[in-house]
Amino acid sequence: MSELSFSPLIVGCMNLGEWGSNYNSDDLYQFVLHCLSRGLTSFDHADIYGDYTTEAQFGGLLKKHPKLRSQMQLITKCGIRRVCTNRPDHRVKAYDASAMHIRASLENSLIQLNTDYIDLLLIHRPDWLMDPEEVAEEVQALKKEGKIKAFGVSNFTASQYDLLNEATPLLTNQIEASLLHLDPYTDGTLDQCVKLKSRPMAWSPLGAGRFFTDRGDEQVARIVKALEPLCKKYNATEDQLLLSWLMLHPARILPVLGTTKIERIDSALESLKIKMDREDWYDLWQASTGATIA
C-alpha cells in the first residue's frame, strides 16, 4: 500500500450507528478521539451501514469538528443496492458496479461524510455484470477530480480481483478472514495478496463475535481450548491472540475491528506486540479445522 498509509488496525464503523451502539454525537466524538489518540487513524464505512444513515452520523461529527478530518483516513464502500425505507427506489437487493452507480454513491458519501475526498473507495461486493473497462474509466475520472485517492474492492475472489486489477490498479481486497473463516488461506486470495504486495483488510477478524457468543459451537470450543495454554504463554487474552494469529500471515493483514467499546480497542492494540510461534499458529489452525494437517 505505497500510495496510502493506514493504521495497523482499521476502525470499523458499521456498529457505531443504528446497526449497533447508535452513539450520540458526544459518545461518537469521544470514541473517535480515543482511537486517534491511540494511533488508529483509519475508519471504515459503507454507504449501506445503518440503512444509509451511519455515514451521515459520522459526517455530522466532522462538520462539528472539521480539524479531525486531516488526522484520519476515510474508507467507504459502494456497490450494494440495499432494499430499505431509505432507498424506496430499490426494488430488489442487487449489486451494481456500473459507472453511474459508483459515481452517484461516491458523490452521496462525500456529502454524508462532510468531506471533499475519500481516501479509499471500495466496491463492496462483486457485481457479476461488472464491465472492468467501464469501472476503470470512472475510477480514473474520480481520481483526476480529486474525489478519491485510491480504489480497491471487498469480498472479491482472486480471479475477480485479477480481472479488475488489469483494468485499473487496486489497492486492497477487504475480505472475511479469521480462525473461523479460513477460505482465503486455501482459495488463493491471500496468495494473490502476497504476490501483488497488496495488503488485505480483514472484516470479522474475531468471527463476528462468535468466540464470545457461541461457546457451544464445536469449532469455537476447540479453538477456545487450544487458546487456554497460549493465553498463559503469551500473557494475552483470547481476542489478542486471535488478532495476532491473523496478522502473522506474510500478506500483512490489516484487521477491521467491529467493536464500539474503548476497552476492546485498547485490548486489540496489545495484539500488535505479540509475535506468535509458528507451531502455536498451526496448533490453532488444526483446532479450527478439527483435523491434523496432512
Where in the sequence numbering do the catalytic residues fall?
Answer: 49
All cell numbers assigned to 113: 461524510
Looking at this protein, which amino acid is placed at residue 277?
Answer: D
Q: Please state, in angstroms and rounded to a whole number, the distance separating the CA atoms of residues 154 and 138.
A: 18
Q: Which residue has the cell 494469529?
A: 245
Q: Please state, in angstroms and rounded to a whole number, the distance separating the CA atoms of residues 126 and 171.
A: 16
Q: What is the DSSP letter of 244?
A: H
Neighbours of 237 (CB within 10 A): 16
The torsion defined by the Cα of 144, 155, 245 and 238, in degrees rounded to 10, comes to 110
Q: Which residue has the cell 483470547?
A: 238
